[in-house]
Amino acid sequence: MLLLQVPAVDTTAASLSATTATQPQTLQLFDLVAKGGWVMVPIAFLFFATLYLIFERYFVIRSQTKTDVGLIDNIRDMIAQGNIKSAESFAKNQRTALGRVFEKAIGRIGSPIRDIESTIETVGQIELSRLERNMGYLGIIAGIAPMLGFIGTISGIIRIFYDISLSDNISVGIIAGGLYEKMITSGAGLIVGVIAYTGYHLLNMMIERFTLSLEMNAFEFIEVLQKPTTEPARMR
């Protein structure tokens, strides 16, 4: 009986070892990053810098471009009543880019319309520059990150063929094994570049909407200032 049971045990062990050998190996994210080499270090830095810039600019732009629907109406009523200081304080208390623009414009009431328009344009450009601060870095990252990835891949391929030339052993396994590791840098660089590129243009869209709102409100503000001079002319 013992002699008959031994082959059964050996067959089970062999089947277990065969099953274990055929199980596919899974790649973990950390292992992939580690196999990318030294180029992954600057790419990782650019990734975290991209996230910081996008979120920091998003919250700043969102808070600074809030527009009070009744801003111009309230300013118009105060100016019509002769409360210039109240209108100026009201605009200042908005604590937004639009409020600061009209705060300066209200302070110029009494000057020629061209001077007021010039003030709105100048202060508006200053506020737009503040909103766009550091956004140029996103454009730089969008261009640099993929290039860094390609540099890592090319340097890895050069290293692979150099090793092949030394060992005089052309094996598909050796080439494929080293190549997929070096392609990690290209993939990581492209991912960071896409995130930076997308964030840059989404933030620009928010700024463009604010620019349109500024132009519309500035036009209404100038009309408010011109009405007292045009209405008497019609009565004549």
The model's pLDDT over 10-34, given as tens digits with 9 standing for 90+, comes to 444 444 444 444 444 555 555 555 5
Q: How far is CA 27 from CA 30, 55, 184, 211, 217, in A?
A: 9, 31, 12, 48, 56
Q: With left for phi above 0 and alpha for psi between -120 and 50, is residue 28 left, alpha or beta?
A: beta
- For position 168, what pLDDT does the model report? 65
- For position 195, what pLDDT does the model report? 96
- Predicted structure pTM score: 0.74
Domain ranges of the chain: 39-225
- For position 180, what pLDDT does the model report? 64
- For position 205, what pLDDT does the model report? 95
- For position 144, what pLDDT does the model report? 92
Instruction: Tabulate helix, strand, coil % of the chain (nearest 5).
Output: 85, 0, 15
Number of helices (H) and strands (E) in the chain: give both, helices first: 9, 0
Residues of the chain with pLDDT under 50: 1-24, 229-236
